[in-house]
Amino acid sequence: MALIETKGLTAFYRDFQALFGVDIAVDAGETIAIIGANGAGKTTLMRSISGVLANEPGAILHNNEPIGALPAPDVLARGIAMVPEGRKLFPSLTVEENLLVGGYGRKAQGQWTLESLYALFPVLKERRQSPATALSGGQQQMVAIGRALMSNPSVLLCDEISLGLAPAVVRTIYAAFPRIRASGASIVIVEQDIGQALKVSDRIYCMMEGRITLSGHSSELGHEEIHKAYFGAERHELA
Amino acid sequence: MNWLDTIVQGVLLGGLYALFAAGLSLVFGIMRLVNLAHGDLIVLAAFVILALVTTLGVSPFVGALMAAPLMFAAGWALQYFLLNRTLGKDILPPLLVTFGLSIVIQNGLLEGFSADSRRVSAGSLESASIALGPVNAGIMPLMTFLSAVAVIVCLNQLIYRTAVGRAFRATSDDPVTAGLMGIRPQRIFALATGLAMVVVTIAALYLGTRANFEPTSGPARLIYAFEAIIIGGLGSLWGTLAGGVILGIAQTVGAAINPEWQILTGHLAFLLVLLFKPRGLFPRAVD
């Protein structure tokens, strides 16, 4: 039985349909990557799972229980935390306060505390009293990840954490992921960089125009296959 | 005219205006809700204290202590069941609804307590005074001012030193992302309005013991509260105290020159600040 499962998930923004029956499954302790071009529906999928967007109850299951219609605080209470796209740090709060607020709704025992997060991202300890938005983009991303970890989630959803960051900074951030995995959490990352996604994940799902176009083990998928699922067949011929 | 005395009286009067304003400032800071019924809620709390004092025979201070939890509950419910429904991108619905609420409260009080002017008696405290160097300060005005400082210290401690305060600020920044942290914005807003009503009760205690009030006194109190907040700068509670003090001094100086000018000089001071510092004297850096 999967830890998180979506079954025929559809999502709408008013009249616009963003997801057309998405089925994914995430097992305990597994890292999966969701790749796809802009507008493929990756962020919509993350927003649906985390409860920011309401769905049919049975379209999303957690431990086989319907959570599709639950609001975000209830989803978090079940141990599903999200690093939102664009980081969304709270500008009125310091770095440390941003981290602390991450543990507001769910006070679960686990390995993540202020101290262990400062050990994971030492630069944050130096900047702990700074306003969160005074940090560099990469440091802000560390705060966003740390903030989500403060609830000691069993599932960590990471939406586009490398967006807008320099490659060296992206590598530093992904270097922390083996230690996050070691905490036992399942991780779902949304990533536009196919190479990075394949490197960090056990399995990937590729999305295009609101549908899953390919899924499989990261080590077994061919480049050609992914390229076709990412851009679509016609465009592949042009490329 | 004794200048020093006039200024001290003005500062102490400013404490009353800061108390009028602190609750309004808290609610606006957290949910960008302008509560046009704020003044009427102060008057409502004064009538609640009056009712408790006259029926139970307790002192006004005990009456306020008993009224505070009632007002907290009323504020919580008002926000949770009514005002939360008006919040959104459009700023007009909360203005219309609280304007309507203001009319409802005024007419409800007229029905229940008649149009008579009332006062809550604080006994011998009303006329007691203490010598501060060359100036005599009334005990009640002094207590008003110290209460205002205490309220602002407590609110600042709450906002900047506690988990609930972090949740207040996070919700104010971005309610959707706050939800991802397990914060329920609707409850945070209800808690904030509940707290604002406790501050309103403290303001009502001094309103009711220092001056006469009637069911229609609210809107004028709302104007002073607004002016104190705008003079001080949105989002800063100490700024609100400074705003109240400036307003108070302007009024007592005006009154010392000509008793008819008291209200006018207060408004003039407000206009001058708007003219030269449209964002107020101590605006919050991040907004």
pLDDT tens digits, B4-21: 999 999 999 999 999 999
| CA-based nearest distance A52→chain B, Å | 7
pLDDT in tens, A106-158: 888 889 999 999 999 999 999 999 999 999 999 999 999 999 999 999 999 99
Domain count of the fold of chain B = 1
Residue of chain B whose alpha carbon sits nearest to that of A133: B286
Q: Which helix (H) or strand (E) holds B101?
A: helix B92-113
Q: Quick one: pLDDT band at residue A230, thresholds 50, 70, 90? A: confident
Q: Is residue B269 part of a domain?
A: yes
Is B170 close to A93, i.e. CB distance below 8 A?
Answer: yes
Name the residue facing B167 among A81, A88, A101 (closest C-beta): A101
Q: What per-residue confidence (pLDDT) applies to B286?
A: 46
Tally of CB atoms within 10 A around A168 = 8
Q: Is residue B134 part of a domain?
A: no
Helix (H, G, I), strand (E, B) or coil at A5: strand
Sheet architecture: strand order including A186-191: A80-83, A155-159, A186-191, A31-36, A203-208, A211-217
Q: What per-residue confidence (pLDDT) applies to B214?
A: 96
Q: What angle do CA B115, B116, B121 make, to 5 degrees?
A: 140
Name the residue facing A90 among B163, B173, B184 (closest C-beta): B173
Gap between the Cα atoms of B228 and B245, Å rounded: 8
**Paired residues of B108 in beta bridges:** none
Q: Is residue B18 part of a domain?
A: yes
Q: How many beta-carbon contacts under 8 Å exist across A and B?
A: 71
Q: What per-residue confidence (pLDDT) applies to A236?
A: 45
Rounded to the nearest integer, the mean pLDDT of chain B is 94
Phi, psi of B106 (to 5 degrees): -60, -45
Gap between the Cα atoms of A175 and A96, Å rounded: 22
Q: For B84-102, what is the mean pLDDT?
A: 94
| CA-based nearest distance B219→chain A, Å | 32
Name the residue facing A105 among B169, B177, B182 (closest C-beta): B182
Is B173 close to A104, i.e. CB distance below 8 A?
Answer: no
User: Which structural domain, as residue segments, surrounds residue B163?
Assistant: 3-107+139-276
Q: For B219-242, what is the mean pLDDT?
A: 93
Is B173 close to A82, i.e. CB distance below 8 A?
Answer: no
Scan residues 178-207 of A and list those with Cβ closer than 8 Å to B: none
| CA-based nearest distance B280→chain A, Å | 19
Q: Is the confidence at residue A36, as pLDDT, over 60?
A: yes
Q: For A95-106, what is the mean pLDDT?
A: 95
What are the chain B neighbours of A90 within 8 Å (beta carbons)?
169-170, 173-174, 177-178
Q: CATH number of the domain that B219 lies in?
A: 1.10.3470
What are the chain B neighbours of A105 within 8 Å (beta carbons)?
181-183
> In angstroms, how far is CA B14 from the centroid of its own chain?
11
Q: Quick one: pLDDT band at residue A233, thresholds 50, 70, 90? A: low
Gap between the Cα atoms of B184 and B186, Å rounded: 6
pLDDT in tens, B186-213: 999 999 999 999 999 999 999 999 999 9
Q: Quick one: pLDDT band at residue B1, thresholds 50, 70, 90? A: low
B163 touches chain A (CB under 8 A): yes
Q: Is residue B282 part of a domain?
A: no
Sheet architecture: strand order including A65-66: A16-26, A4-13, A60-62, A65-66
Rounded percentage of chain B residues whose pLDDT exceeds 90: 86
**Residues A6/A157, Cβ–Cβ less than 8 Å:** no
Q: Is residue B185 part of a domain?
A: yes
The domains located in chain A, with CATH, are 4-89+153-238 (3.40.50.300)
Q: What per-residue confidence (pLDDT) applies to A234?
A: 54
Q: What per-residue confidence (pLDDT) applies to B234?
A: 84
Gap between the Cα atoms of A171 and B19, Å rounded: 53
Gap between the Cα atoms of A210 and A12, Å rounded: 10
Gap between the Cα atoms of B130 and B137, Å rounded: 5
**Residues B231/B4, Cβ–Cβ less than 8 Å:** no
Name the residue facing A72 among B167, B170, B180 (closest C-beta): B180
ipTM above 0.95, yes or no: no
Q: Quick one: pLDDT band at residue A238, thresholds 50, 70, 90? A: very low
Q: Is residue B79 part of a domain?
A: yes
Phi, psi of A34 (to 5 degrees): -115, 120
B166 touches chain A (CB under 8 A): yes
Name the residue facing B183 among A50, A91, A105 (closest C-beta): A105
Q: Quick one: pLDDT band at residue A179, thresholds 50, 70, 90? A: very high
Q: For B87-113, what is the mean pLDDT?
A: 95
Q: Is residue B199 part of a domain?
A: yes
Helix (H, G, I), strand (E, B) or coil at A36: strand
Residue of chain A whose alpha carbon sits nearest to that of B30: A92
Is B179 close to A73, i.e. CB distance below 8 A?
Answer: yes
Q: What per-residue confidence (pLDDT) applies to B94?
A: 95
Is A73 close to B183, i.e. CB distance below 8 A?
Answer: yes
Q: Is the confidence at residue B87, as pLDDT, over 60?
A: yes
Q: What per-residue confidence (pLDDT) applies to A231?
A: 81
Q: Is the confidence at residue B164, as pLDDT, over 60?
A: yes
Q: Is residue B119 part of a domain?
A: no
- pTM, two decimal places: 0.91
Name the residue facing B180 among A50, A91, A131 (closest C-beta): A50
Gap between the Cα atoms of B162 and A36, Å rounded: 41
Q: Is the confidence at residue A235, as pLDDT, over 80?
A: no
Gap between the Cα atoms of A16 and A5, Å rounded: 24
B179 touches chain A (CB under 8 A): yes
Q: For A177-195, what is the mean pLDDT?
A: 93
